[in-house]
Amino acid sequence: MSKITGVLFSLERNTMGRLLKIAIDGPAGAGKSTVAKLVAEKLGYVYIDTGAMYRAVTLQALMDKIDMRDETSLTRLAESVGLVLRVDEKGNTRIVLNGVDVSFQIRTPLVSRCVSQVSQIPGVRQRMMQLQKDMAAGGGVVMEGRDIGTTVLPDAEMKYFLTASVEERARRRYAELLQRGFTVTLEEVLADMAERDYIDAQRAVAPLKPAPDAEIIDCTGMTVDQVVDIITSRVSGRSG
């Protein structure tokens, strides 16, 4: 049975007034994870990386050699997998899959190539979405993904959609993969990212798109700190 550790609901660090739900969406490589984590740190909120949850299911499916087109088996896997999210002493979200910390393994290029296939399956999304809603029930969370503002938390008080040119997003992801020790080319990363953008935008269930009431931030040419400052300044005005 999937479970989430209580640390995700520990919000004593908050010092910004009433607890809000903050949704940050956008395509791969737009900087959502970095921005969301820093925003959460500044506000004393809990950062929830929903993409990591789908990646963990994808990793288990790869290890079990499940066909990525087998919706029944993948749904059954999502409903039964042992999934724990922990926040370590540095504020990093650690992903524990069936008792093993897989925070590094879920970021491999292979998982990145397959995760969009897994995440578009209705049964998988339904299971993950329910867990995500439960995590955010008390507010005081910064949740990032691809359908947070539109589907997971349509009632979020603050919604942002981060984007950037596919070339800039590919360069960012390429540098990140090299830093982690993976051997890839920029051309491979760019091709994978373009394919993932297409799959995410065209899927029938919860496609990637801005919520009608989301503020769209084009991060092309912007620093992470600039984006974080924009969001935290907005939140400060709403949460007092």
The annotation status of 91 as a binding-site residue, yes or no, is: no
The annotation status of 233 as a binding-site residue, yes or no, is: no
CB-based contacts of 87: which residues, under 8 Å, 6+ apart? 7, 8, 10, 46, 47, 93, 94
Q: Where are the alpha helices (DSSP H) in 81-185?
A: 109-119, 122-136, 166-179
The annotation status of 28 as a binding-site residue, yes or no, is: yes
Report the candidate in 122, 208, 98 with the shortest Cα–Cα distance to residue 162.
Answer: 208
The annotation status of 26 as a binding-site residue, yes or no, is: yes
Other CB atoms within 10 A of residue 37 CB: 20
DSSP, collapsed to helix, strand or coil, labels residue 95 as strand
The annotation status of 37 as a binding-site residue, yes or no, is: no
CB-based contacts of 97: which residues, under 8 Å, 6+ apart? 56, 59, 60, 81, 82, 83, 106
Other CB atoms within 10 A of residue 208 CB: 22
The annotation status of 223 as a binding-site residue, yes or no, is: no
The annotation status of 33 as a binding-site residue, yes or no, is: yes
Distance CA 110, CA 118 (A): 13
What are 111's two structure tokens?
């998982």
Distance CA 181, CA 179 (A): 5
Binding site for ATP, residues? 26-34
Binding site, residues? 26-34
